[in-house]
Amino acid sequence: MDKQKLMEAALEARNHAYTPYSHFQVGAALLTKAGRIYQGCNIENAAYTPTVCAERNAFFKALYEGERAFAAIAVAGGPEGECRDYAPPCGVCRQVMMEFCDPRTFRIFLVKSPDEYREYTLEELLPMGFGPGNLKEREKQT
Ligand code: THU
């Protein structure tokens, strides 16, 4: 995995953010198991709730293209300008990851700069998450 390239792609994606309300720009770079990167940014809305996060934007772009196997996502976020703090994915984005990724192996990188980042598994950020496997268990019982 070219981590450096993934971090840079997340930082670059921030430049595409549409954030006239929060001025909090988030960029995400989603890496498929085959090595392709899909970028996403947050896109806000005057009605607020239709806002989409950078992570989900990247996932939905990739899913539309038929991708189903994901290795990692890098996320860079902060007020306009440099990323001074880490921006962890919101709960809704973690749940979307849970739908398509193995929580034990899927990596989440929180990025400040290409060489300043933290690395987690999805399981660490969403312990005991509810996913497709839970429904399969139910089907087995009935
Ligand atoms: N945001 C993301 O893009 N990803 C997250 O996981 C957290 C929040 C965006 C949504 C909104 O545009 C802005 O950050 C402030 O909440």
The residue written with tokens 């300043």 in the block is 116
19 Cα: distance to centroid of ligand 1 (angstroms): 9
Whether residue 142 has pLDDT greater than 60: no
Tens-place pLDDT, residues 39-85: 999 999 999 999 999 999 999 999 999 999 999 999 999 999 989 99
Pocket of ligand 1, beta carbon within 6 A: 19, 22, 24, 26, 42, 44, 51, 53-55, 89-90, 93
pTM above threshold 0.85: yes
Tens-place pLDDT, residues 7-44: 999 999 999 999 999 999 999 999 999 999 999 999 99
CA–CA distances in Å: residue 106 to residues 12, 99, 140:
22, 12, 26
74 Cα: distance to centroid of ligand 1 (angstroms): 14
- Say whether 101 sits in a helix, a strand or coil: coil
Whether residue 99 has pLDDT greater than 80: yes
Tens-place pLDDT, residues 119-139: 999 999 999 999 999 998 666
134 Cα: distance to centroid of ligand 1 (angstroms): 28
Decide if 128 contacts 96 (C-beta within 8 A).
no
CA–CA distances in Å: residue 84 to residues 14, 65, 80, 118:
14, 33, 10, 13
